[in-house]
Amino acid sequence: MIEKVAPMNIIDVLTAPWAIQPSKLLELQGIYAMHARGDKIDIAAIEARMGRPLANEQRSYEILDGVAVLPIEGVIAKKMNLFSQISGGASSQMTRQALADAVNDPAVHSIILAIDSPGGTVDGTQALADAVRATRDKKPIVTLGSGTIASAAYWIGASAQAVYLADSTTVAGSIGIVTSHTDVSGAEAARGIKTTEITAGKYKRVSSQYGPLSDAGRQSIQEQLDYLYSLFVGSVADSLGVSVDTVLADMAEGRVFTGQQAVDAGLAPGGIITLDDLVVKLNRDREGKPSPFPARPGAAPARPSIPTPKPKGSTMTTKEQIQAEHPALADAFRAEGASAERARIQAVEAQAIPGHEDLIAALKFDGKSSAGDAALAVLAAEKTSRAAHATAAQNEAPAPLPLVPAASVQKPDDKPADTSRAGIDAKAREYMAAHPGTAYVAAYKAVGGK
């Protein structure tokens, strides 16, 4: 029997973001869902039916003529786990360690990532891709896709100096992110169980599996996937030396390509080559000999990907020498530089706002400012402009008039009231005359007498 897996680990597998072909994800989720229901998978029984051990342990690299061939096969996960034991797979953590070992191995002068994988979990993929890219500064490293190099596997493989395919039937691409939401409330109800979650925080369990997926939950998941997708596309664009727009237009959106289709789309700029021939090529490149493998007709032009170490004491190659000895390479350099400069200028132009046209014009043609540099410069200029306008407006505003209390005005015909006894007596008699039948005392009080 397999080891127990904590429920939270199972839920994580069922709902985590994956960079993998959807059909393989459904298969893996089926394994975990069955395990979560309590239907344990008997490894011994599976091995008995097959007549052999599963033997799905991850292999380290082997060395062929000084070239380390590091296999990345099956589903990729951060750590070896349940589906690795059943169907094989690669741990991104173990692969990073094997890669580090190959880099430090004095018997290894170049590295091939031999990939046959439908992808895997997003978790751990970017870290391995970063490790592959860092290796480019230490030893030549290339990727050879054989069978399938999709999703997370391509994310990792594209980070090498060049990507090749082993044959015309190898599937590549599937640049995208996928996940799923499982509502287990109906299954629990059938077993007489009801789970009530108590949370603190609006988004703590916004996409809980103990009920139907709400609109807010769907939006939360979609935002997460969109962000991961942007990381995936950006990493591929950076690794291949092309723009994000090129990746989105020609390679991404979850599409898969086969053989020469993948080469033409730019996913495998190196072209199609066998493992043995690639080992020979790496050794020839290392020795500075002309490569026996010309570019395939119709293949996308490859970036200069595998640097040839210069012999000790040699002088630096000039651009004139490159033009004379390698005109095709010089043309590729110029085309790549022109394309990168056009993309940089367009990105800088996109940061323009009214009032800062001169600044954008200067940044466009300085040959170095990126879109981020332009955005920061425009923001700083806009802040300075607004502060100057505010100061000018304050200086030009008229001084406020002092507040003077209004003077009390007495009408000319107003006379002070006569409050003497004689005055009140006179008013009382006038009141009695105006109101016949009124007694003197009542009239006296009516005019203010006490």
Q: Where is mean pLDDT largest: 176-190, 200-214, 233-247?
A: 233-247
Q: How many helices (H) and strands (E) does the chain have?
A: 18, 12
In angstroms, the Cα distances linking 75 to 20, 27, 148, 230, 275 are: 8, 11, 11, 22, 21
* CATH architecture of the domain covering 7-191+208-287: Alpha-Beta Complex (3.90)
Least confident of 139-153, 194-208, 234-248, 257-271: 194-208
19-36 per-position pLDDT tens digit:
565 555 555 555 555 555
Q: How confident is the model at residue 305 (pLDDT cuts 50, 70, 90)?
A: very low
Task: Report pLDDT for 306.
Answer: 42
How much is the average pLDDT of 197-204?
A: 75
Q: In what order do the strands lie in the sheet with 75-77?
A: 18-20, 119-121, 75-77, 89-91
Task: Report pLDDT for 111.
Answer: 96
Helix H or strand E segment including 35: helix 22-36
Task: Report pLDDT for 53.
Answer: 53
Tabulate helix, strand, coil % of the chain (nearest 5).
45, 10, 40
The candidate with the shortest Cα–Cα distance to 309, out of 335, 288, 333, is 288
**Percent of the chain clearing pLDDT 90 (strictly above):** 29
Name 94's Cβ contacts closer than 8 Å, sequence gap at least 6: 58, 80
Task: Report pLDDT for 302.
Answer: 41
What span, in angstroms and rounded, lies between the C-alpha atoms of 283 and 259?
Answer: 25
What span, in angstroms and rounded, lies between the C-alpha atoms of 204 and 220?
Answer: 11
The amino acid that residue 64 corresponds to is L
Task: Report pLDDT for 422.
Answer: 79
Q: Residue 295: exposed, middle, or buried by beta-carbon count in 10 A (0-12, 13-18, 19+)?
A: middle
The amino acid that residue 420 corresponds to is S
What span, in angstroms and rounded, lies between the C-alpha atoms of 22 and 254?
Answer: 10
The candidate with the shortest Cα–Cα distance to 254, out of 15, 76, 25, 12, is 25
What span, in angstroms and rounded, lies between the C-alpha atoms of 317 and 310?
Answer: 10
Q: How confident is the model at residue 99 (pLDDT cuts 50, 70, 90)?
A: very high
Task: Report pLDDT for 15.
Answer: 57
CB of 347 within 8 A of CB of 373? no
Alpha helical stretches, state H, 241-370 = 244-250, 260-265, 275-287, 319-325, 327-349, 357-364
Examine the pLDDT at 292 and tell me if it is beyond 60.
no
CB of 142 within 8 A of CB of 114? no
Least confident of 162-176, 197-211, 315-329: 315-329
Least confident of 70-79, 305-314, 387-396, 441-450: 305-314
* DSSP per-residue string spanning 350-365: TT--TT-HHHHHHHHT
Helix H or strand E segment including 11: helix 7-15
DSSP-assigned beta bridge partners for residue 113: 70, 143
Name 201's Cβ contacts closer than 8 Å, sequence gap at least 6: none
Task: Report pLDDT for 247.
Answer: 92
Q: Mean pLDDT in the chain? A: 76
pTM of the entire structure? 0.54
Domain ranges of the chain: 7-191+208-287, 319-390, 418-450
Task: Report pLDDT for 312.
Answer: 40
What span, in angstroms and rounded, lies between the C-alpha atoms of 388 and 393?
Answer: 9
Task: Report pLDDT for 297.
Answer: 38
Torsion angle (degrees, nearest 10) of CA 62, 63, 67, 73: -10
Query: What b/e sequence results for 377-408 when a residue is b if at least 16 CB atoms lie within 10 Å of its CB, and e otherwise?
Result: bbeebeeeeeeeeeeeeeeeeeeeeeeeeeee
Name 28's Cβ contacts closer than 8 Å, sequence gap at least 6: 13, 20, 75, 83
